[in-house]
Amino acid sequence: MTYVRLGNSGLKVSRLILGLMSYGQKEWGKWVLGEEEGIKHIKAAYDAGIQTFDTADVYSNGESERILGKAIKQLNLPRDEIVVMTKVFNIVRREPGPFLPTVRGDSPQADALGYTNQYGLSRKAHSSIASCLSIANQCHRFDYQTPIAETMQALHDVVKAGYARYIGMSSCHAYQFHAMQNYAINNGLTPFIAMQNQYNLVYREEEREMIPTLKMFGVGMIPWSPLSQGILSRPYEETTLRAQTSHSAQLWKKTKEDNKEIILRVEKIAKARDISMAQVAVAWCLSKDVVTAPIVGTTSLANLQDLIAAANATSSQRPNPAEHLPFNYVPTGWVGILFLVLFALTTTGHLFQAVTLKTTYMIPTLVLCGVGELLGWAGRYWGHVNPHNGDAFMMQITTTIIAPSFMTAAMFLILPKIINELGTMYSRMPPRLYSIIFITADVTALIIQAAGGAMASIARTPEGSERGGKIMLGGIVIQLIAVILYTILGLEFVIRFSYDRPAHPKIISDLRKNSGWVGVPRGIVKMLTGLAIATVFIIIRSIYRTIELTDGWNGTIISTESYFNWFDGAPIFVAMFTFNVFHPGNLLRNLESSNRLPISAYSSSDRVEMTRV
């Protein structure tokens, strides 16, 4: 456990502060632990290095303060080492009973029950502090009924009388804190050294006004409820006794749906790092430089140890601030713009070539691939502009996974044309089967990837996204197998043609005039070269995607931007640009009829075997 200065004061507090709201009487709250369990928690916290304890007179109507006092005496905790913080403002019942809320510093109900002048921040209300010696006395809430001058003078008197060493404020507006602090400073009174306000992943309003104010005054921030009444410590659908019965938890319940995405992100990060959701939430709070020490409260010793582990974690063990983002990083803007320009140019080129060279089959293949890549990179740039947008992430990952399927379809159409030109006897199977088998596999892979992408995009839980990712992985694997098999068959064809080693008996009309590649039109040679280049880059990209999805949504591969740029964006662009240069509309037209094979090795049942002369 480390210890840090509280604001600009000389007081040091532990990096975690144990809140004692959970220890007291069941009459005050059904979820509250009794004295014995409370003392056990205080001992466990102290043994772990926590020497700062926060309580309030209203917690279990004073029983929380008494339990702390008994623990200090029973455990023989050194008073010169520990820091005790308490708060005043609310109504403290004389007998056990539930919390009596004070509205804006006034409560006719409390007055009717005989609690007049026994709550709020007046001088009279502060007189009760004489019975409780503390290091820091805090105002639990702002008192609208008592003048600021009276409140600050009363707090100063408490310090002068020796009942407290420092003062702090809790849960007020920035303008109120500013007015109170200014009054103390300008009138030579004791100023606040701490602000105990609500601050966590689902409540960040303090960042607007309060945090800049605290920085200006050099006041330390010790936020309460870093777990937001526990909703950041458990999966979205789970609940607890406190969540069902606590007055404050019921208020937060109304905003739970608004916070659903954040809770799911916390759960996602926790699973990826094999830590608890509570550790993620506390580590996030500790990562903020304005936070001195968050106040944590638990009703379980195991949960307390879990939170202590989060505080003791090194900076390298804590979640990266970008880890809760859909991409797990912020996509680089200029890279997105660069690929948008490159894919726009190559796609426009393919559309122009498809029309002018009358190769319309390139429109539903290469042109459509380019459109998909443009949508994907638009999603990545959208993610740069709005890193928290989950739709941008799903838009890019779905389209960039699906788009190359259209390009492989073009490859599966081009090779059969070349086989027909050079000689079907050198091919392991008829040219028409290339289109039937491989395009069928391509369409199957496309459908599976689209289904997985749709499932992942509409998923509202990490498990749903993972299932969608696994389905997409299945489609990628099918595509990879198809491309590898296509490559093997194509390579075998080229080798057999080069050495005149037919895969099937030749017939009379299939006799070649020249051996090797002599006399073969240059267009075919160039087209085969282009196919080879594009195929290599498609395989590189498919292997990368397979590894990426196998590694998972939170894996190192998908979380590293440079991997995506170099092993997905770049290979697909190079493959598309290769077909701009080696375009079948240019290279496979006006072929010399001398080398065209008029009869297929698969079309005649009357094959005549010939020996080479």
Strand partners, 54: 19, 85
State the DSSP H helix or E strand holding residue 182, giving kind and residue range, or none if neither. Answer: helix 174-186
Which runs of consecutive H residues, i.e. helices, occur in 403-521?
404-422, 431-433, 439-458, 462-498
Q: Is 426 an active-site residue?
A: no
Scan for tokens 């509250």, then name that residue. 32
Tokens of 83: 């820091």
How would you classify the pairing of strands 17-19 and 12-14? Answer: unpaired
State the DSSP H helix or E strand holding residue 137, giving kind and residue range, or none if neither. Answer: strand 136-139
Tokens of 274: 């094999």
Tokens of 29: 């709250």
DSSP class of residue 508 equals G
Among 23, 46, 59, 166, the one annotated catalytic: 59
Tokens of 549: 């999805």
User: What span, in angstroms and rounded, lies between the C-alpha atoms of 139 and 196?
Assistant: 9
How would you classify the pairing of strands 12-14 and 3-5? Answer: antiparallel
- From start to end of 280-418, where are the E strands? 295-296
Scan for tokens 């921030």, then name that residue. 221
Tokens of 215: 């920085």
Other Cβ atoms closer than 10 A to 316: 6
Query: Residue 100, exposed/middle/buried by CB under 10 A (0-12, 13-18, 19+)?
Result: middle
Nearest to 168 by CA among 3, 11, 1, 2: 11
Tell me the one-letter amino acid at 297: G
User: What span, in angstroms and rounded, lies between the C-alpha atoms of 590 and 398?
Assistant: 40
User: What span, in angstroms and rounded, lies between the C-alpha atoms of 158 and 137?
Assistant: 8
- From start to end of 10-49, where are the E strands? 12-14, 17-19
CA 9 to chain centre: 37
DSSP 78-127: -TTT-EEEEEE-S---SSS------BTTB-HHHHHTT-TTSSSSSHHHHG
To the nearest 10 degrees (0 to 180), the angle between helices 404-422 and 439-458 is 180
Contact (CB, 8 A) for 297 and 18: yes
- From start to end of 20-90, where are the E strands? 52-54, 83-88
344 Rama class: left (phi>0) / alpha (psi -120 to 50) / beta: alpha
User: What span, in angstroms and rounded, lies between the C-alpha atoms of 346 and 348?
Assistant: 5
In terms of C-beta distances under 8 Å and separation of at least 24 residues, what long-range contacts does 431-440 make, across chains too? 434/486, 434/489, 438/408, 438/412, 438/482, 438/485, 438/486, 439/409, 439/412, 439/413
For the annotated catalytic residues, the residue numbers are 59
